[in-house]
Structure 1
């Protein structure tokens, strides 16, 4: 079952779909948020849909929003594919590299992405995104970590490389937190339908030309290890979003041009759908 939010920003309606029929979830929850995930909402919704207890919903022509309400935290893992580390001029890390994005970077999967004023180094990054379903602190093992995941979706960890690397002051978040820099969705697939997140093909194109093409089996630190390691130094709350890293094939490699006004960025992950965004020049 696919969990989605349809409607204009700030007025999205939570729904669930089997790929054909769409059901309204407002009889169960006001939104797809941490409280819903922590209370077993995904499972309750699937049971209610199967039992015919949910009203149908006609979302034809409606905007597709991010599949979760604005998270309290967007935690990102850097350099988590060896080939991407090499193209970035870095050695593969011995432990997870962590940075944060502002939660207000999260937008829908088809919304425009705004290029910051004066930017000539805005880049794309397709990533498997993890949504936390249960509070996680000081977990005992990676195996235990999987039980704390609500589901998976697609993120584009858009990056402004000059701010990330040259103006960073030693940290990356400055180049990661511009408005619209985290398109998410189109849907959330419950963890029980995806498993540990391995073996999923992920890809990206710019103006129809191939850029990234890899599989989540190539993650240096897999999903379970990421959640486990994060829990050793931060408390993960239901509804928190984790971007797990991007494979090689970004503009930072020097093999491709950076994004410009009017470019079309498309990306996808097996079973999790596809995104399509138009780059637009932001005005101050």
Structure 2
């Protein structure tokens, strides 16, 4: 397999440049023979905050986006990096470029990924699946309906400056968006969570009033709450056009998913 001479540089960040301590937050790679040029930044900032303390994510994300645009503009023409040193010298502030280093490349995209992972890393914190969603997933799998459900796209509600993600969806006259809801033992905390879901569901219902209809359907873990609390939440959800099922009594939901799969001609998505 052919090898090509590439050049890479690290994009480094320091909010106090006089400290002369920089953290790698991005990488650029150019391979003039191919030609190939790419630049990538870490999504997270845990490494930055370990060294410099809490940082404004919007500010850092803005710096990354601006710097990326300048890099693309500069090196879309300067493919061999001849103007690199001059460009780097003009950018020695919060974000700077390390000196160019040589690297042999066989598959540019693959080698770029390996370099990025080794020298920068994504730095995103590990996001654990909420326990209620795990229980919901396990219940669907256990009752054999998981393959009749879809993963809906993010629901954008621009009039509320809000986006909502749910793990499951299926067609039932309107499109049902299924999510889990854990109710804390403390009644006030439970009211806050239930109220939040009722508002989200009401917003979704109103946003899609002109169709195609979408409806939030919530499976709640009421194991730490009284039946009276459950019925109060059910009444609130009915008024907000939100469906409600109990985690310990999901039989009606399984039956509806199976019925609608037959009615709407759905089949396994696996």
Please give the range of the TM-score, normalised by the shorter of the 2 chains.
Answer: under 0.3
Q: RCO higher in 1 or 2 (8 Å CA, sep ≥ 6)?
A: 1
Higher Cα Rg, which structure? 2
